[in-house]
Amino acid sequence: MADKKKTMGSGVTAIFRKQIFIPIAALLLLAVFNLIMDPSFFEISFGYNSAGHPVLTGNLMTILDYGSEVAILAIGMTLVTAASGGQDISVGAVVAIAGSVILRVLVGLGGDGTLQAPIIVGFLAACGAAMLCGAFNGVLVAVFKIQPMVATLILYTAGRSIAAWINNNELPSVTDETFTYFGGFIPGIPVPTPFFIAVVCIVIALLVLKFTNLGLYTQAVGINAESSRLNGLNPTFIKWLTFVILGLCVAVVGLIKTSRLSTINYSVIAKDIEMDAILAVALGGNVLSGGKFNIMASILGAYVIQFLTTTLYKFQVSSDALPAYKAVVVIVLVVISAPAVKEKIAAWGKKVKAQKGDA
Amino acid sequence: MKKEKKAADGALTAKKGKLTDTSLLLIITVAVFFVMYIGAMVFLQKGFLKPQTFFNILNANAALIITACGMSLVMITGGIDISVGGVVALVSMCCAVYLDFMGGNVFVSIIIALAIGLAFGAVQGFLVAYLDIQPFIVSLAGMFFARGMTTIVHTAPFNVENEAFVALKGTRITVPGMGTVNKLGKYVNAYVEIGVIVALLIVVLLFCMLRWTRAGRNFYAVGGNRQSALMLGINVKKTRFFAHLLCGILAGIGGYVYFLHVGSGSASHASGMEMNAIASSIIGGTLLTGGVGNIFGTFVGVLSLSTIQNIVSSIGLDQAWWTGITVAAMLCIFLVIQSVLLARKK
Amino acid sequence: MNEHSVLEMKNIHKSFPGVRALQGVDFHLCEGEIHALMGENGAGKSTLIKVLTGVYEKDEGEIYLKGHEKPVVIRAPHDAQNLGISTVYQEITLCPNLTVAENMYIGRGKSKLTNWKKMNEDADRILENLGIPARASQQLSDCSIAIQQMVAIARAVDMDCKVLILDEPTSSLDESEVEKLFGLMRDLKARGVGIIFVTHFLDQVYEVCDKITVLRDGRLVGEYVIEDLPRVKLVAKMLGKEMDDMADIKSEAKPYEGEDEYVIQAEGLQSDAGIKPFNFYIKKGEVNGFTGLLGSGRSECVRALFSADKVIAGTVKKNGKPVKIAKPLDAMKNGIAYLPEDRKNDGIVGDLSVRDNIILAAQVLRGFFRPFSKAEANKFAEEYIKLLEIKTASVDTPIKSLSGGNQQKVILARWLLTHPDYLILDEPTRGIDIGTKVEIQKLVLKLASEGMSVTFISSETDEMIRTCSRLIVMRDRKVVGELSAEELNQAKIMETIAGGDM
């Protein structure tokens, strides 16, 4: 019954507009709020960092910087959500694994911090490891038909332990300066590098969606796997593929995260980032039970979440208490966008109109 | 087509498919637990032969048993509640602050615990059942909120020194007929803490509720097929609300039992407890898709989970990471077994 | 309210965004009467029933029940149940994870506790009385679809109801089961229960019903006593126009006049769905069909040809050359198209737009790295929407908001777009309105005359006779005969299905 109500009369274009509308509205709301409370929020200042390179600093830069991590994950998470109708909650733990692999390859056990291998080799190894984890999740979900949240619970539980085990619980650190570029600044470019990495990822994702059928296939599989199979698709493979793609995204974030510190803290790195990534998908107005998706909306959702986080920091909220405020915002957002509430509001609006008409 | 195929071997399956999915999974869980524990007794001996080892598992996991039961209820109706760990932490912190800084009494602190659980259950239940928002998102926000609130209430961890509370915490109930002779040659009775009694009571109560009451059976119907349950005349919204409400209250009780066991307030309490609760439920034979599960299974699931951890550490793999990896491996094996079994049945 | 009435619905209105599903509909049901509710898909039958059972809330209007002075308020299915209205829906609305007995008793009665022993005994007694081959303690998902449907009926019948609604309950039952159901309905009628019966099978209406209410486009056309409304008139009322003579569609279409070549030849084909190995061939421009009772294996045969089920033995030749078909994509690459029996679960991709549903198969054939441009996709979609007269607001409308007949046309368009040599249509006319049925049959003959080979399967034998030139008869999962030319008549087909000639 709800289906009928939802779909009747509103074409896909209208849905699209509605969908991207949610994150945009949230973004505007936050922007206006900050503008009223303290316009200095938007100030960007020019300075030099500790390495003596020119950098731009300010809240907006922070948002671009840290929001990019979530945005990259949101790309993969959106695809996983669309195809499998569930979410991968192991991304934070797999970021730890990827980071650990990078350090193991670059520095090695008991190393003095000098590079033992080119950074690209470390990154490729991390890609391999993270995609392997994705493939493992993918097999459980696609072949054994275990619900994604439960299947990924396995790596969620074991991931950080595995990461610690890879480096035998040592905390190798990289002294090479070029390694800090990925999570910091490239000399001469005042905008944080993670933003450029995110842009590259987004462009690649959009190109892939434009020049392949990945979008159509994942949506078809997510909506009705059996009829997709009878149309010649291989739902098992496509679901599996989305997890592997997410693995790739995770590896990129692993590089950024380890680069920020030049070392790793197994229990803290990328903690709760899976929640932010899932929230980004939800904020983008994508249905978490799979099917149709809009990847740009998810990416925008990721930056909105970082916008919110930065705003809260600005108001002296401690990082531990942050989740409480985030939760309130999330609840308000989902309640407003819930179909049941929308209907009520629409009915109420009609009533008011009718009363005005009578008068 | 499929349905014609089914029609043909309908007569066959009528004889073969004697067990319901719930019973089948329960049997597997119980069997695995006994094999594991008896195996440990035979091959590892050491502590496993002492009854107190078993009771210590209960003492340490009473809170987990209670929250996992709540989790199972929600999972049977096809939902999920990942806020339970956060609620447990919040309850411990609130009660600790109340008892120590505000000089409160124990009885009121229990009420506070229940009220917090009730509030979380009611709000989340309302959002899930009546506004039809996805349980994962709702309880994710619930978890964030509870964790955040815990640090807002008080940041630094501290031990509670309220006398009445410390007395209650130290209360040990001896288990008649069980005990061991210690190194000094003195016979020591095995004991359990109060929390264990509460947990066992809850397990029995919920088991009966799910098995024999109308409300309990409605949980299964709603989890099996929500649309059908509606058509069968079940108030689906009320049922889902009730499940989340119960889960919240149980998280409150679990929080107090946890608090009673550790006797302190800390923002990092019960971290990852929601995942342990989900894992226990799954090992206990509850399907996250809903409609299949058993409270007794969940109880055995919690025991299995901590037994395997004990076994791993007693065979010398005591580095921190082995716990995580073992739990995950066990979860993985159970999930695959369930998936294969249920697929074969169809 | 009339003395004999059990139910009166007055001036019922119900709208969904963009659609006025019911506009001022009246409905009137007497005690001890079987009342057919007829109309094409989208006429508002289901909506009316869902308003009555509380699945939808009506916008306007009143519902009166016997024994209630004021109009009754029905907000949810349990309200309807408590008022003595019980319902059997076309789709199984039971819980697969519960036992048979629980499905029969859950959600009704006052008792807060479950007495398992008594419930199982009661259920077993009812199952035995109705001759349903299931045990009370069995899990429902272990039963076949037909038995599940019978359990749903047993539940509805066992309730002490004043009004019984049967919404297309017969679509998954075989003939003997339908007979059993009719027997039950007559018993209940004698006990004074008012029965509302919705079906697409005209024969069934004329067999058991007393009155007919016809709806069209959400409005009431009229209420008729069955004797006053012969079939032709009923169909005319439902369509709102006189129907063209369906018997003639075959002579309208020219048969294909090309060379006589084999398109598909299969030998010893067998799938894991439990059919005996069978041989099959089809020539260019030929329309043939598989017939047999439900469960005889006719769908499994065509599924094996398309590799929809796992093929475990046999060889297939395409245009005389052996080909390997291991999965649906292989079949598609060899020019085979398959419209599945279960439109909702195997056919449509609900949330996707009409356009995406139409291009899906062609797109998969074209390859992962070569998507159609948006303009191309729209062009294809619009072309077929026009060709098949699909009623949709736009190409962007999600397919699930279309009516059943139009959904079926979209799936048909999907396969026509792949330009197949061999088209398999498994029950393309099930559950869709008569107008569309005729259109589809005509289309099949037209495609054949252009050189396409078609296999057409239908539960309604007269449809098969009208469209097919050769029928393969199946019984107990194996091919038992082949009929063509003069042998194609009801009597001969029935005889072969029943095995009378052996």
In a domain, C246, yes or no: no
> Rg of chain A over CA atoms, in angstroms?
22
Contact flag B221-C297 (C-beta cutoff 8 Å): no
What is the average pLDDT across B249-277?
Answer: 90
**Closest residue on chain C to B290 (Cα):** C97
What is the average pLDDT across B236-245?
Answer: 95
**Statement: residue B277 has pLDDT above 70:** yes
Distance from CA of A143 to the nearest CA of C (A): 16
* pLDDT tens, position by position, A298-319: 999 999 999 988 888 888 888 7
Phi, psi of B132 (to 5 degrees): 55, 40
B10 touches chain C (CB under 8 A): yes
Task: Please indicate whether residue A66 or residue B319 has the higher confidence score (pLDDT).
Answer: A66
- Which of C80, C95, C135 is nearest residue B221 as measured by Cβ atoms? C95
In a domain, C245, yes or no: no
The answer on C181 and C126 residing in a single domain is yes
Q: A151 to chain B: which residues are within 8 Å by CB? A: 335
**Statement: residue A203 has pLDDT above 70:** yes
- Return the SS3 of B184: coil
B292 touches chain C (CB under 8 A): yes
What is the average pLDDT across B222-243?
Answer: 91
> What's the CA gap between A59 and C357, in Å, rounded?
45
Contact flag B217-C102 (C-beta cutoff 8 Å): yes
Helix (H), strand (E), coil (C) string for A23-79: HHHHHHHHHHHHHHHCHHHHCEEEEECCCCCEEEEEHHHHHHHHHHHHHHHHHHHHH
Distance from CA of C446 to the nearest CA of B (A): 27
The answer on C426 and C405 residing in a single domain is no
Q: A230 to chain C: which residues are within 8 Å by CB? A: 306, 308, 328, 338, 340, 346-347
The answer on C426 and C410 residing in a single domain is no
Task: Please indicate whether residue B237 or residue C170 has the higher confidence score (pLDDT).
Answer: B237
Contact flag C351-A292 (C-beta cutoff 8 Å): yes
Domain endpoint, select from C175, C206, C239 = C239
- Which of B138, B288, B324 is nearest residue A157 as measured by Cβ atoms? B324
- Which of C338, C350, C396 is nearest residue A230 as measured by Cβ atoms? C338
Show the tokens assigned to A143: 């072949």
In this predicted structure, what is the pLDDT of residue A357? 64
**Closest residue on chain C to A222 (Cα):** C349
C350 touches chain A (CB under 8 A): yes
> What's the CA gap between A24 and B99, in Å, rounded?
46
The answer on C47 and C106 residing in a single domain is yes
Distance from CA of C353 to the nearest CA of B (A): 24
User: For testing the chain B interface, which of C83, C100, C141 should be mutated: the one with the most B CBs within 10 Å?
Assistant: C141
Residues 127-146 (A) with a CB less than 8 A from some CB of B: 140, 144-146
> What's the CA gap between B50 and B189, in Å, rounded?
11
| Domain count of the fold of chain C | 3
Contact flag A1-C338 (C-beta cutoff 8 Å): no
* pLDDT tens, position by position, A154-189: 898 889 889 998 888 888 888 888 888 898 888 888
Number of residue pairs across A and C with CB atoms under 8 Å? 104
- Which of B20, B227, B233 is nearest residue C99 as measured by Cβ atoms? B20
A356 touches chain C (CB under 8 A): no
The answer on C388 and C425 residing in a single domain is no
In this predicted structure, what is the pLDDT of residue B185? 74
Contact flag A327-B336 (C-beta cutoff 8 Å): no
* pLDDT tens, position by position, A315-349: 888 878 888 888 887 788 778 777 777 777 777 87
Closest C-alpha among A119, A90, A79 to residue A204:
A79
What is the average pLDDT across B128-136?
Answer: 88
Residues 6+ away with beta carbon under 8 Å from B254: B63, B64, B65, B66, B67, B70, B84, B88
- Which of B6, B228, B345 is nearest residue C95 as measured by Cβ atoms? B228
The answer on C406 and C446 residing in a single domain is no
Distance from CA of C261 to the nearest CA of B (A): 29
Contact flag B233-C108 (C-beta cutoff 8 Å): yes
> What's the CA gap between C149 and A256, in Å, rounded?
57
> What's the CA gap between B78 and B220, in Å, rounded?
9
In this predicted structure, what is the pLDDT of residue A6? 41
Contact flag C401-A8 (C-beta cutoff 8 Å): yes
**Closest residue on chain C to B235 (Cα):** C78
**Statement: residue B307 has pLDDT above 60:** yes
Task: Please indicate whether residue B205 or residue C462 has the higher confidence score (pLDDT).
Answer: B205
The answer on C72 and C143 residing in a single domain is yes
Distance from CA of C237 to the nearest CA of B (A): 31
Show the tokens assigned to A203: 């462009």
Domain endpoint, select from C416, C442, C457 = C416
Show the tokens assigned to C22: 């019911």
Complex ipTM: 0.82
Helix (H), strand (E), coil (C) string for chain A: CHHHHHHCCCCHHHHHHHHHHHHHHHHHHHHHHHHHHCHHHHCEEEEECCCCCEEEEEHHHHHHHHHHHHHHHHHHHHHHHHHHCCCCCCHHHHHHHHHHHHHHHHCCCCCCCCCCCCHHHHHHHHHHHHHHHHHHHHHHHHHCCCCHHHHHHHHHHHHHHHHHHHCCCCCCCCCCCHHHHCCCCCCCCCCCHHHHHHHHHHHHHHHHHHHCCHHHHHHHHHHCHHHHHHCCCCHHHHHHHHHHHHHHHHHHHHHHHHHHHCCCCCCCCCCCHHHHHHHHHHHCCCCCCCCCCCHHHHHHHHHHHHHHHHHHHHCCCCCCCHHHHHHHHHHHHHHHHCHHHHHHHHHHHHHHHHHHHHC
Q: B217 to chain C: which residues are within 8 Å by CB? A: 98, 102, 106, 114
The parent domain of residue C90 ranges over 5-239
The answer on C493 and C360 residing in a single domain is no
Give the domain CATH number at C449: 3.40.50.300
Q: Residue B306 CB: number of other CB atoms within 10 A?
A: 18
pLDDT tens for chain C, residues 1 to 502: 667 888 999 999 988 765 678 888 999 999 889 999 988 766 788 889 989 988 888 888 999 988 888 888 888 888 888 888 988 887 778 888 899 999 998 887 777 888 888 899 999 998 888 888 888 888 888 888 778 888 888 888 888 788 999 988 876 777 778 888 888 888 888 888 899 998 877 778 888 899 999 988 888 988 999 888 887 788 778 776 554 544 555 555 667 777 778 899 999 998 888 788 999 999 988 899 988 776 678 888 999 999 998 898 899 999 889 999 999 999 999 999 999 988 888 889 988 999 999 999 999 999 889 899 999 999 999 999 998 888 888 888 889 888 778 888 999 999 999 999 999 999 888 767 777 888 888 889 889 988 899 999 887 777 888 888 888 988 778 888 888 877 887 778 777 877 644 4
pLDDT band, very low/low/confident/very high, at B121 (cuts 50, 70, 90): very high
Least confident of A252-256, A275-279, C232-236: C232-236
Q: B144 to chain A: which residues are within 8 Å by CB? A: 275, 323-324, 326-327, 330
In this predicted structure, what is the pLDDT of residue A327? 84
Q: Which helix (H) or strand (E) holds B297?
A: helix B295-314
Q: Residue B196 CB: number of other CB atoms within 10 A?
A: 22
Q: B8 to chain C: which residues are within 8 Å by CB? A: 274, 295, 477
In a domain, C248, yes or no: no
Task: Please indicate whether residue C448 or residue A288 has the higher confidence score (pLDDT).
Answer: C448
Measure the CA dihedral B209/B214/B215/B221, to 10°. Answer: 110
Distance from CA of C10 to the nearest CA of B (A): 24
Distance from CA of C340 to the nearest CA of A (A): 8
- Which of A154, A159, A160 is nearest residue B331 as measured by Cβ atoms? A154
Contact flag B232-C77 (C-beta cutoff 8 Å): yes
What is the average pLDDT across B318-338?
Answer: 81
Q: C373 to chain A: which residues are within 8 Å by CB? A: none
Cβ–Cβ under 8 Å, residues C371 and C363: yes
The answer on C411 and C281 residing in a single domain is no
Chains that touch A (3 or more CB pairs under 8 A): B, C
A324 touches chain B (CB under 8 A): yes
The answer on C435 and C408 residing in a single domain is no
**Taking all residues of chain A, what is their mean pLDDT, rounded to a whole number?**
86
- Which of A8, A11, A228 is nearest residue C16 as measured by Cβ atoms? A8
pLDDT band, very low/low/confident/very high, at B346 (cuts 50, 70, 90): low
The answer on C317 and C353 residing in a single domain is no
Contact flag C17-A8 (C-beta cutoff 8 Å): yes
* pLDDT tens, position by position, C206-250: 888 999 999 888 889 889 998 888 877 887 787 765 545 445 555
Going along chain A from its start, the domains and CATH numbers come out as: 2-316 (1.10.3470)
pLDDT band, very low/low/confident/very high, at A92 (cuts 50, 70, 90): very high
pLDDT band, very low/low/confident/very high, at B9 (cuts 50, 70, 90): very low
For residue A10, give the amino acid letter. S
Q: How many Cα neighbours within 13 Å face the side chain of A36?
A: 5
Ordered DSSP codes for C389-449 = T---S-TTSBGGGS-HHHHHHHHHHHHHHT--SEEEEESTTTTS-HHHHHHHHHHHHHHHH
Residues 6+ away with beta carbon under 8 Å from C427: C299, C341, C457, C458, C459
Render the burial of C15-27: b for 16+ CB within 10 Å, e for the rest.
Answer: bbeebebbbebeb
> What's the CA gap between C80 and C51, in Å, rounded?
10
**Statement: residue A7 has pLDDT above 50:** no
> What's the CA gap between B114 and B128, in Å, rounded?
21
Cβ–Cβ under 8 Å, residues B224 and B208: no
State what percent of residues in chain B have pLDDT above 90: 36
A164 touches chain B (CB under 8 A): yes
Contact flag C143-B10 (C-beta cutoff 8 Å): yes
Show the tokens assigned to A104: 């193991």
Contact flag A223-C365 (C-beta cutoff 8 Å): no
In this predicted structure, what is the pLDDT of residue A114? 80
